[in-house]
Each structure stands twice: as C-alpha cells, then as structure tokens.
Structure 1
C-alpha cells in the first residue's frame, strides 16, 4: 500500500491559492498571486529536494494539473531537471469528468472519484505526492486516505483566497514528524495523520457561580 503525502504552501491564515505567480490562479479576483516567491531560500530548496528525493508519483486536482502541464514540460535552465522528472513520472488527476478531461501530458491518468484514489493507494508503488490542489484535502481527509502533510507556513496573512480546508470534514489529530525554520521565517513541518482529536479541560473541577453564569450566557447567545 502506498502513502499519500500532501505538499502544502500556506499563509498564516491558511491560504494556499497561487503561491507561484500572479497568473497561476486569479479566480475570485485574488490579488496576491506569487506571495511565496520572495521567501524562498536555500533551506526551503533543500527541504523541497528532500520531498522529491525518493521515488514518487503525483496526485493532483484538475486545475493544479493544468497549471503543471502548461509549465513543467517547457521549463529550461535550472528547473529543467524537475520538469523532466515530473514528465517522466505517473500523474494521477482527480476530476469530476475523467472522460472529458484533456490529459495531453504524457504519463497522465484520470481518476473519477475517491474510490478510484483508494484503489490506487492500495496498489504497490511509490508514494503519491500532492502539490497544491486545495479541493483534494477535504475529500482525502473525509475518506481517511491522507497519511502525511509536508507544510510550509509563510509569515504573512493574506485575508482571502482558497484554503486547504474550506469545507467541513472529519476531525484529525496530527503528530509532528520533523520541523525546521528557514532564514526567511518559513516554518517547514511534516505531520503524520494520527487518529482523531483528543480533548481535555483546564476548568476547575467544581465550577464557580461566575463560571456557571458565563456558561448560561453562552448558551443563550448561541
């Protein structure tokens, strides 16, 4: 069985939209395309190299696939090796219309739903790496299919844009596997999905009258 590993660039308020450039995803009139670029440094480059350092295949949403397919086969210079690696590996694209999605980039395969993803995950092969693809995370979490998150959290607040979790999904507890901080203040952390959320309480064993009154007000205020 393979692992599904999500690679996430996000702001402090959880926005993932268009980290790479103004034209990457301008939907909803998003004004901050390219917000990640000024923060990249050697530490981040090494961390990304580690993510792609072992055999992998890509699991992408349709829109992210289209971004990749329009860019990576054509890059030159220092990024050409990454483009060649992406072209050579299998790319699995989750799309609501698998028969109508244009997958002209070689080694690309359409998956129609999470059942198809589960079947793929159950096969032998390298880990499946997600890049971007905000629509995938709620579905994968709801189905218990996500194993690990590689998250780069940038020291900015954007206030708008697509987030990793924009809809209700299952609760999940995460265990920190490793972490580091770049020279530009980006927190680079890897989390393993580790069951459901535990809760506890710091409240006094016997609540005070003031606390009981506060709870009553909270109930009334909804």
Structure 2
C-alpha cells in the first residue's frame, strides 16, 4: 500500500491559493498571488527532498493545466530544469471532467469516482502519491480519509481571503508531528503522519 502525501505552502489562516505568482490562481478575485516568495528560504528544502525519491503526482485540473503549460517548457539551462525533468517524467493522476484533453506526457484521468480511484491507487504497487496545490482535490481527499501525511510550510502571514487547505468537509482525524523546524525567515516546517481517530475527553474534576 502506498502513501498519499500532501505537501503545501500555507499561511497562518490556512490559505494555499496561488503562493507562487500573481497569476497562478486568481479565482474568486484573489489578489495576493505570489505571497510565498518574500519568505522563500531553506524551508523549501523540505519540498525538494520529496522529489529525490520516486513519486507520482496527483493534481486537480486547474493545477494540472498550469503545470502542463509551464514545466515542459523549462529550458535546459534554467535553475528549474532538474525539477522540470522530474515532473515531466512522473506519472500524473488528474481529477478532471475533461479526460480526453490531457496533453502532458504520462497523464491519466482519475475517472468520475475520484475517491474510489484514489483508494485503488493506494492499494496498488508504486511510489508515494504527492499532491501539489489542488485545494479542491485535497479537500476531497481529506473528506475521504485518504491522506497519510501532511508536510506543511507555514508562512508567518495572514491573508484573510483565499482558498483554504481545510474546509468543513474534512473528516476528524488525528495527526502526529514527526518533525518541526523554524527557518531563517520564520517559516515553520511541520511533518505530520496520520495517527487515527480524534480522541476526546472531559476536563478533570
């Protein structure tokens, strides 16, 4: 059984929309795109480490389209070419209503029942499944109790608006932190693994 890992750049108020550039995702009038880069530092090593081992990508349609128009065009002399080569070669599993239009090499649609498809993938042989962006898909995966690990780079800002990592569909789930570090610019990198059901108790009397 392989793991499904959600790595994410996230603000203090849970926003994950458009960390990389102003035009990455302007949905719902979002105007704060590119919020991560003023805080970029060694915290990104946690993300890069994920791609040093075999992996497959799991993407929502908006993220897929953005990646498909960007990564195949990265020049060989670009500082991003190593990541581009890895992403271009990886299998991409895509949540989409347009399964006939997947132009990026090694792409395949998850099908109409996303939860069932992901469950089947997790039961199959293969490397870990990594999401990137894809807030709507991630929320569905959390609601379906399919996420095994969270790797969060928490950036010390509040945005007030934007698509969130968690919404009210998330199933109550306990996660255990296995590592936590603070970077030079104040980002907190936390690695969580799923531990089980949420425990509850009353106050001592």
TM-score by length of 2: 0.93
Superposed, 1:38-187 pairs within 5 Å as 38-41=38-41, 43-76=42-75, 77-95=78-96, 97-100=97-100, 102-112=101-111, 113-187=114-188
In structure 1, distance between residues paired with 2:155 and 2:23: 20
In structure 1, distance between residues paired with 2:157 and 2:6: 21
Larger radius of gyration between Structure 1 and Structure 2: 1
| Contact residue 91 and residue 109 of structure 1 kept, 8 A | yes
In structure 1, distance between residues paired with 2:17 and 2:166: 12
* Helix, strand or coil at the partner of 1:13: coil
* 1:149-189 CA-partner distances (Å, limit 9, x unpaired): 01010000000000012232310111001111110100001
| Contact residue 98 and residue 111 of structure 1 kept, 8 A | no
TM-score by length of 1: 0.87
Residue in 2 that maps onto 1:35: 35
- 1:2 and 2:2 correspond: yes
Q: CA deviation at 1:139?
A: 1.7
Number of aligned pairs?
Answer: 201
Residue in 2 that maps onto 1:21: 21
Moved beyond 4 Å, runs of 4+: none
For structure 1, which runs of at least 5 residues remain unmatched after alignment? Answer: 206-222
| Contact residue 176 and residue 192 of structure 1 kept, 8 A | yes
- 1:191 and 2:184 correspond: no
Q: Which has the higher contact order (CA 8 A, sep 6+)?
A: 2
Supply the RMSD in Å over aligned alpha carbons. Answer: 1.3
